[in-house]
């Protein structure tokens, strides 16, 4: 009896946690529609174009998934770190450094073919991990706030990438690297590249590691209560460091995949721009569930490709899509905090209980 | 290698399949939306590719840019070029330009216009050359009425990896002429014999412009020194202020020429603070001489010859990866108005040199490349 | 060395100019963090302040009115942050991140409408510099410190005021207790939620003023991305300045100095790979934090949500 009661509550919580982001998205879209209508354009036509442009046919779907792919990686990067209580805001820097490492290995080493692909991806994982290891070491030795250090490292990575594409492997002096050789690129898959599949599989793997292994249990324990974990004899510092490295490695792999999977197959200005912060938002909207993060990342990708289409078809400023994205994040975060507030919780359970008593009466 | 070929063939066929779907969907949307674009239907029917000179009643043009049309520089200049072209081309109608296009969305933005069968899609700058490879290939196959114009791009050097250049042309302004125009003005206006240049990005165009700028100034006075920065970006105006201040105070720079949109604004701020009667700015690529710009003495103006592209599309001769040249002979490059800070005798002298630059007798390529080699 | 000496006055000028927006934003963040709210959305609030200050200043021709309205806009945006984090107890980092995405988008949208309707609106007006007679002529530092806009002077005057507030006012002390131990503060009769909201108002106003400085005193234009990470730098200066007004002043000036050094190096070593110069301010911030950022400093309950019901 008691067990059944608990599962009902759990079910309610699960419903709410799925419902909140959905409502947030709808609410943000409604506000977006109002803005569009105020500009004298037809919001329904706009949203129609958005759906048509992102999910209208097979090629549109593959483009949307391709656009979502890097966001899946940075979303998983943030998810993993946050599960361990690490606020890694450096997804963008790690993503960029992953891309740089791949470019250096393939272009610098002149390695082509599957070997180049494998080594390139490996380099991305390693360097992304190292780039996250730096703030990790600073955190556990000097107690430095990783939010600040990772953001600063984002800028340093950005300028380092400039060095790579302008000075090291520039294509005839243009501010972009030489294109990755065709033989070392990720294989095509249904109009997009296998990196998308890799990202989705990674989402499942991360979910498995976090929720189904003892390592994941420790990571979660540290994230929930580092003091208690230490008392329990968990190597807290090592786990925190591992969380940094693994989350960085995920982002770094994302950078490699983006570079080897997506046109123009080059590093250039704007590579990875904004992906890190989007990843943080994705992780939180997904409530740190890796599989949900994949879904939310695809939603963000849809907003990007669909929003671009909508902009062109009805002719509204691009900033509207950013406003909608910001609103989704705010609503989702606020909404999820709201349903966790003790008062609201009590209200919800009371209602449920009173309903139950009514039913039994 | 053979494997690769197979792969591309496979990709092609896949593209065709997808393309069919896309065309079908596009037709559906058109049918659903109904009104307005009645001309697009006829286009979809005739599929005979380039050389088909059947004139249409109306054409659509769209512009895609990384900045905004009011940036006071690069994208505004493109937008104004388009406006000028539209004035002479009554059949053409402009769609809302796509501003603030992130690199990750550049291809989607183009695809959006391809889906609407826009006749001409303009990309402001060579960053679009690398992002549009797939879109162009797709459009060449499934939307033969769509044409692409990418500015400041050298098709042979920068678009070598394209499968097809059939629906593509580029615009290449004569950077040497632009630089020389700014250079003679700077050379005649500088009192301290020290001039500066800020570029947003180290592009071939930037290097060519600066080299010609300094070469022309030194032709007027060989003692003139040049300062340069090619990495200022296009948004951080405060950097422009700080850098110009540094050059004014340390290197006595008194004439600046900018190629970095918003950053140029910051430069003018520093020049004004140092004294607008002795410190001058040459604007680019739009003419902004006026009372609200006390430091600007003249502007080197670029027009990206969009009208020519429109003519070619109407006559059916557009495409094949040609580069349209924009130079002084066709009005692509001009020197703007002078402010009253430029004395009459200097204006006359500038105008003399302008004719020489136009005729190509003012600077030799060697003189320019001698400077370019040192960069 | 010679070149460096010649560059020095300009480096110092850049230092002071560059320090002001960071100083204003980080003073705001000091209020915020002293009340236990880590506001990573400074960047977005600054963008709103920069745009609204610019637009109102241009529309009315009164730059001070622009500043005030800009600050009000900053307060409005930051109250959204406050509502989410204080009342709803949402995650502070993500809420701030959402502000960083939302606020610049709103500013850009406003800019599109404002300048799109009239291209002449693209260039605004600037506050004039006021040289303090005598002091402004001191070699090296004179022009930098004593030839500023009134707004710049005001920013520096704020420093002792804020310092005095936290040190000597009863209210300042109760303010601090909210960030240290809100539960205890509440038992002492302090209205924790009200203090937190007040912190949001002050932080929003100051950060927006920092943004408005960029468009009203630095350059007469607004561009998307004009804040250029200054909000994040301000977050670092608060830690580096150990949550004190004086410390934050020092940190802002030091950051300004390294930014000035970056510009001077770019100005003189033109053929060098300048991207490494551009890294200097950010790399320096990390190094400075390594030496001066201790984990033991700072409000104890910083960043933690406060559930009143959980006392």
Q: Is C7 on the interface with B (CB under 8 A)?
A: yes
Q: Is A159 on the interface with C (CB under 8 A)?
A: yes
Specify the CATH number of the domain C2-125+156-300: 1.10.3470
Indicate if the pLDDT at residue B16 is higher than 50: no
C6 to chain A nearest CA, in Å? 28
Which chain A residue's Cα is nearest to C237?
A148
Which residue reads 């992780």 in tokens? A283
Which residue reads 């354009």 in tokens? A41
**Mean local confidence (pLDDT), B63-79:** 88
pLDDT at residue number A144: 86
DSSP A186: P
pLDDT at residue number A6: 59
Q: List chain B domain ranges.
A: 56-173+303-332, 175-301+343-372
| Residue B23: Cβ-neighbour burial (10 angstroms; 0-12, 13-18, 19+) | middle
CA angle, corner B284, sides to A163 and B110, nearest 5? 65
C-beta atoms of C293 and A142 within 8 A: yes
Residue B334's φ and ψ, nearest 5 degrees, are -140, 160
Q: Is B336 on the interface with C (CB under 8 A)?
A: no
- Distances in Å between the alpha carbon of C68 and those of A93, C50, C63, C130? 36, 11, 9, 20
Indicate if the pLDDT at residue C293 is higher than 70: no
C-beta atoms of C18 and B242 within 8 A: yes
β-pair partners for B151: B171
In whole angstroms, give the CA distance from residue C43 to residue B81.
35
* Residues of chain C numbered 244-273 and touching chain A (CB < 8 Å): 273
Which residue reads 């088909």 in tokens? B52
C-beta atoms of A322 and C93 within 8 A: no
Q: Is A189 on the interface with C (CB under 8 A)?
A: no
In whole angstroms, give the CA distance from residue B263 to residue B240.
5
Residues of B in contact with C122 (CB under 8 A): 70, 72
Calculate the average pLDDT of chain A.
Answer: 88
Q: Is C214 on the interface with B (CB under 8 A)?
A: yes
Q: Is A155 on the interface with C (CB under 8 A)?
A: yes
Nearest to C74 by CA among C206, C181, C182, C166: C206
Q: Cβ(A41)–Cβ(A314) under 8 Å?
A: yes
Return the biggest CA–CA distance within chain B.
69
pLDDT at residue number C297: 64
Q: Which two tokens stand for residue B208?
A: 């060519």
C-beta atoms of C84 and A159 within 8 A: no
Q: Which two tokens stand for residue C154?
A: 């005001």
Indicate if the pLDDT at residue C1 is higher than 60: no
Indicate if the pLDDT at residue C83 is higher than 80: yes
Confidence class of residue C20 from pLDDT cuts 50, 70 and 90? very high
Q: Which of C219, C268, C275 sits opposite B237 (nearest CB)?
A: C219
**Mean local confidence (pLDDT), A235-243:** 92
Confidence class of residue A356 from pLDDT cuts 50, 70 and 90? low
Confidence class of residue B164 from pLDDT cuts 50, 70 and 90? confident
Region of poorest pLDDT, from B4-18, B269-283, B337-351 = B4-18
CA angle, corner C111, sides to C106 and C116, nearest 5? 135
Q: Which two tokens stand for residue C243?
A: 């949550």
Best of C39, C76, C94, C299 to disrupt the A interface (most A CBs within 10 Å) is C94
Q: Are strands B280-283 and B194-199 parallel, antiparallel or unpaired?
A: unpaired
Q: Which of B4, B134, B138 sits opposite A183 (nearest CB)?
A: B4
The string of DSSP letters for B206-273 reads: HHHHHHHHHHHHHHH-TT-EEEEES---SS-HHHHHHHHHHHHHHH---EEEEESTHHHHHHHHHHHH
In whole angstroms, give the CA distance from residue B297 to residue B272.
12
Confidence class of residue C173 from pLDDT cuts 50, 70 and 90? confident
Which chain C residue's Cα is nearest to B252?
C6
Confidence class of residue C308 from pLDDT cuts 50, 70 and 90? low
Which chain B residue's Cα is nearest to A177?
B130
Return the biggest CA–CA distance within chain A.
82
β-pair partners for B64: B98, B123
Please check whether the two domains, B56-173+303-332 and B175-301+343-372, share a CATH topology: yes
Indicate if the pLDDT at residue A209 is higher than 90: yes
Region of poorest pLDDT, from A339-348, B19-28, B151-160, C33-42 = B19-28
Q: What is the pLDDT of residues B101-117, one digit of tens each?
A: 888 888 889 998 998 88
Which chain A residue's Cα is nearest to C284?
A152
Q: Cβ(A276)–Cβ(A89) under 8 Å?
A: yes
What 3-state class would DSSP assign to A357?
A: helix
Best of B9, B105, B109, B175 to disrupt the A interface (most A CBs within 10 Å) is B105
Confidence class of residue B55 from pLDDT cuts 50, 70 and 90? low
Indicate if the pLDDT at residue C2 is higher than 80: no
A360 to chain C nearest CA, in Å? 32
pLDDT at residue number A154: 94
C-beta atoms of C6 and B239 within 8 A: no
Q: Cβ(B77)–Cβ(B286) under 8 Å?
A: yes
Q: Which two tokens stand for residue C10?
A: 């300009």
Which residue reads 């079908």 in tokens? B24
* B39 compared with B203, residue with greater pLDDT: B203
ipTM: 0.90
Which chain B residue's Cα is nearest to C10?
B246
Residues of A in contact with C112 (CB under 8 A): 317, 319
pLDDT at residue number B18: 40
| A348-353: Cβ within 8 A, 24+ apart | A348/A12, A348/A16, A349/A9, A352/A8, A352/A9, A352/A12
A194 to chain C nearest CA, in Å? 30
pLDDT at residue number A37: 92
Please check whether the domain covering B175-301+343-372 is classified as CATH 2.60.120.10.
Answer: no
In whole angstroms, give the CA distance from residue B8 to residue B137.
12
CA angle, corner B298, sides to B292 and B302, nearest 5? 110
Q: Outline where chain B has alpha helix (H).
A: 2-33, 39-45, 74-88, 106-115, 127-131, 133-142, 155-158, 175-189, 204-220, 237-251, 262-275, 306-315, 344-359, 365-372
Q: Cβ(B128)–Cβ(B154) under 8 Å?
A: no
A145 to chain C nearest CA, in Å? 8
pLDDT at residue number B3: 41
Region of poorest pLDDT, from A124-133, B108-117, C62-71 = B108-117
Q: What is the pLDDT of residues A139-149, one digit of tens each?
A: 988 888 888 89
Q: What is the pLDDT of residues C236-281, one digit of tens each?
A: 999 888 889 999 999 999 999 999 999 999 998 988 888 899 999 8
Q: Are strands A188-189 and A192-193 parallel, antiparallel or unpaired?
A: antiparallel
Size of interface A-C (CB pairs under 8 A): 147
Q: Is A145 on the interface with C (CB under 8 A)?
A: yes
- What percent of chain C lies above the pLDDT cut of 70? 97
Indicate if the pLDDT at residue C54 is higher than 90: yes
**Mean local confidence (pLDDT), A319-338:** 89
In whole angstroms, give the CA distance from residue B167 to residue B46.
16
What 3-state class would DSSP assign to A181?
A: coil
CA angle, corner C116, sides to B104 and B135, nearest 5? 25
C-beta atoms of B262 and C108 within 8 A: no
pLDDT at residue number B33: 39
Indicate if the pLDDT at residue B52 is higher than 70: no
Indicate if the pLDDT at residue B27 is higher than 80: no
C-beta atoms of B112 and A312 within 8 A: yes
What 3-state class would DSSP assign to B98?
A: strand
Nearest to A26 by CA among A234, A327, A256: A327
Q: Is B190 on the interface with C (CB under 8 A)?
A: no
In whole angstroms, give the CA distance from residue B208 to residue B215.
10
* Residues of chain A numbered 269-328 and touching chain B (CB < 8 Å): 269-271, 273-274, 304-305, 308-309, 311-319
Please report the sign of the dihedral spanned by the C-alpha atoms of residue A49, residue A52, residue A55, residue A61.
negative
Region of poorest pLDDT, from A323-332, B11-20, B109-118, C24-33 = B11-20
What 3-state class would DSSP assign to B167?
A: coil
Q: Which of B100, B107, B204 sits opposite A174 (nearest CB)?
A: B204
Q: Is C130 on the interface with B (CB under 8 A)?
A: no
- Distances in Å between the alpha carbon of C291 and those of A138, C38, C287, C305? 11, 22, 7, 29
Cβ count within 10 A of residue A122: 16
β-pair partners for B214: none
Residues of C in contact with A138 (CB under 8 A): 286, 289-290
What 3-state class would DSSP assign to B302?
A: strand
pLDDT at residue number B51: 43
CATH class of B56-173+303-332: alpha beta
C-beta atoms of A144 and C295 within 8 A: yes
Q: Are strands A170-171 and A174-177 parallel, antiparallel or unpaired?
A: antiparallel
Region of poorest pLDDT, from A286-290, A343-347, C219-223 = A343-347
Which chain A residue's Cα is nearest to C277?
A159
Q: Is C266 on the interface with B (CB under 8 A)?
A: yes
**Mean local confidence (pLDDT), B171-183:** 92
Indicate if the pLDDT at residue A287 is higher than 50: yes
C-beta atoms of C264 and B269 within 8 A: no
**Mean local confidence (pLDDT), B222-236:** 91
In whole angstroms, give the CA distance from residue A128 to residue A256.
10
Calculate the average pLDDT of chain B.
Answer: 83
| Residue B2: Cβ-neighbour burial (10 angstroms; 0-12, 13-18, 19+) | exposed
**Beta-carbon contacts of residue C280 (< 8 Å; ≥ 6 apart):** C258, C259, C261, C262, C265
Q: Which of C98, C101, C289 sits opposite A148 (nearest CB)?
A: C289
Indicate if the pLDDT at residue A294 is higher than 90: yes
CATH class of A42-315: mainly alpha
Indicate if the pLDDT at residue A285 is higher than 80: yes
pLDDT at residue number A93: 96
Which chain A residue's Cα is nearest to B111?
A309
In whole angstroms, give the CA distance from residue A49 to residue B259.
37
- Distances in Å between the alpha carbon of B112 and those of A120, B105, C181? 33, 11, 55
- What percent of chain A lies above the pLDDT cut of 90? 51
In whole angstroms, give the CA distance from residue A279 to residue A258.
15
């Amino acid at each position: 009896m008691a067990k059944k009661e608990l599962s009902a509550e759990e079910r309610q919580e699960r419903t709410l946690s799925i419902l909140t982001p959905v409502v947030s998205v709808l609410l943000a879209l409604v506000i977006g529609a109002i803005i569009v209508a105020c500009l004298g354009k037809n919001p329904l036509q706009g949203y129609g174009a958005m759906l048509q442009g992102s999910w209208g046919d097979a090629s549109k779907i593959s483009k949307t998934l391709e656009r979502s792919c890097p966001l899946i990686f940075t979303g998983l990067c943030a998810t993993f770190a946050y599960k361990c209580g690490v606020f890694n805001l450096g997804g963008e820097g790690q993503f960029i450094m992953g891309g740089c490492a791949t470019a250096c290995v393939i272009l610098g080493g002149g390695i082509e073919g599957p070997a180049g692909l494998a080594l390139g991806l490996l380099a991305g994982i390693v360097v992304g991990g190292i780039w996250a290891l730096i703030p990790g070491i600073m955190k556990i030795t000097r107690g430095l706030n990783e939010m600040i250090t990772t953001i600063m490292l984002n800028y340093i990575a950005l300028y380092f990438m400039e060095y790579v594409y302008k000075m090291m492997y520039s294509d005839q002096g243009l501010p972009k690297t030489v294109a990755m050789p065709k033989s070392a690129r990720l294989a095509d898959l249904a109009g997009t590249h296998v990196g998308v599949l890799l990202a989705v599989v990674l989402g499942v793997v991360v979910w498995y590691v976090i929720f189904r292994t003892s390592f994941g249990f420790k990571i979660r324990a540290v994230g929930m209560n580092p003091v208690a974990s230490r008392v329990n004899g968990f190597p807290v510092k090592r786990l925190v460091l591992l969380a940094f490295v693994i989350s960085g490695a995920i982002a770094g792999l994302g950078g490699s995949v983006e570079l080897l999977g997506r046109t123009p197959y080059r590093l250039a200005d704007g590579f990875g721009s904004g992906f890190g912060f989007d990843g943080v938002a994705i992780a939180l909207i997904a409530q740190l569930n890796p599989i949900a993060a994949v879904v939310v990342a695809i939603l963000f990708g849809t907003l990007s490709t669909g929003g671009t289409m909508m902009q062109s078809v009805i002719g509204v400023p691009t900033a509207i899509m950013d406003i909608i994205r910001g609103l989704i994040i705010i609503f989702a975060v606020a909404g999820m905090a709201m349903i966790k507030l003790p008062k609201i919780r009590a209200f919800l359970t009371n209602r449920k209980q009173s309903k139950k008593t009514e039913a039994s009466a | 290698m053979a494997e690769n070929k197979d792969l591309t063939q496979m990709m092609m066929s896949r593209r065709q399949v997808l393309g069919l779907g896309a065309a079908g969907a596009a037709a559906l949307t058109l049918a659903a939306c109904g009104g307005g674009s009645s001309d697009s239907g006829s286009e979809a029917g005739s599929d005979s590719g380039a050389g088909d000179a059947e004139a249409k009643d109306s054409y659509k043009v769209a512009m895609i840019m990384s900045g905004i049309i009011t940036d006071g520089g690069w994208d505004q200049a493109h937008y104004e070029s388009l406006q000028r072209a539209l004035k002479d081309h009554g059949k053409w109608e402009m769609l809302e330009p796509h501003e603030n296009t992130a690199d990750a969305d550049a291809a989607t933005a183009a695809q959006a216009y391809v889906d609407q069968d826009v006749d001409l899609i303009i990309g402001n700058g060579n960053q679009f050359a690398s992002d549009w490879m797939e879109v162009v290939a797709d459009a060449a196959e499934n939307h033969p009425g769509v044409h692409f114009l990418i500015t400041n791009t050298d098709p042979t050097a920068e678009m070598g990896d394209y499968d097809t250049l059939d629906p593509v042309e580029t615009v290449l302004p004569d950077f040497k002429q632009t630089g020389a125009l700014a250079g003679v003005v700077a050379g005649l206006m500088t009192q301290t014999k020290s001039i500066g240049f800020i570029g947003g990005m180290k592009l071939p165009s930037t290097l060519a412009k600066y080299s010609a700028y300094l070469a022309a100034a030194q032709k007027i006075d060989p003692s003139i020194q040049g300062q340069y920065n090619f990495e200022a970006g296009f948004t951080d105006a405060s950097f422009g202020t700080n850098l110009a201040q540094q050059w004014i105070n340390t290197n006595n720079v008194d004439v600046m020429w900018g190629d970095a949109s918003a950053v140029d604004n910051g430069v003018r701020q520093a020049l004004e603070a140092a004294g607008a009667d002795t410190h001058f700015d040459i604007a680019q690529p739009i003419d902004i001489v006026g009372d609200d710009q006390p430091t600007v003495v003249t502007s080197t103006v670029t027009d990206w010859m969009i009208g020519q592209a429109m003519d070619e599309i109407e006559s059916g001769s557009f495409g094949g990866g040609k580069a349209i040249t924009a130079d002084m002979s066709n009005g692509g490059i001009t020197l703007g108005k002078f402010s009253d800070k430029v004395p009459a005798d200097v204006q006359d002298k500038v105008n003399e040199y302008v004719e020489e630059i136009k005729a190509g007798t003012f600077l030799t390529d060697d003189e320019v490349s001698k400077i370019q080699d040192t960069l | 060395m010679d070149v460096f000496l010649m560059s020095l006055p300009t480096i110092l000028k850049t230092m002071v100019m560059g320090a002001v927006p960071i100083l204003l934003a980080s003073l705001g963040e000091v209020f915020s963090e002293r009340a236990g709210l880590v506001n990573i959305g400074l960047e977005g609030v600054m963008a709103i302040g920069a745009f609204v200050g610019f637009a109102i200043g241009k529309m009315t021709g009164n730059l001070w009115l622009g500043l005030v309205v800009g600050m009000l806009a900053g307060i409005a945006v930051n109250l959204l942050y406050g509502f989410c984090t204080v009342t709803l107890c949402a995650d502070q980092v993500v809420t701030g991140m959402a502000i960083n995405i939302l606020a610049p988008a709103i500013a850009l949208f406003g800019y599109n409408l404002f300048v799109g309707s009239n291209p002449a609106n693209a260039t605004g007006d600037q506050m004039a510099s006021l040289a303090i007679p005598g002091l402004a002529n001191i070699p090296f530092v004179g022009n930098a410190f004593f030839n500023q806009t009134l707004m710049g002077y005001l920013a520096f005057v704020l420093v002792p005021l804020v310092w005095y507030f936290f040190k000597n006012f009863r209210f300042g002390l109760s303010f601090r207790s909210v960030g240290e131990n809100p539960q205890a503060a509440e038992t002492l009769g302090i209205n924790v939620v009200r203090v937190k909201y007040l912190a949001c108002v002050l932080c929003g106003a100051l950060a927006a003023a920092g943004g408005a400085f960029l468009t009203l005193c630095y350059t007469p234009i607004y561009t998307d991305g004009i804040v250029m990470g200054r909000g994040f730098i301000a977050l670092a200066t608060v830690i580096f300045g150990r949550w004190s007004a004086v410390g934050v002043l020092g940190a802002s000036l030091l950051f300004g100095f390294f930014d000035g050094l970056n510009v001077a190096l770019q100005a003189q070593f033109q053929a060098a790979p300048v991207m490494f110069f551009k890294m200097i301010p950010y790399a320096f911030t990390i190094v400075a934090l390594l030496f001066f950022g201790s984990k033991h400093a700072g409000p104890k309950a910083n960043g933690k949500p406060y559930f009143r019901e959980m006392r």
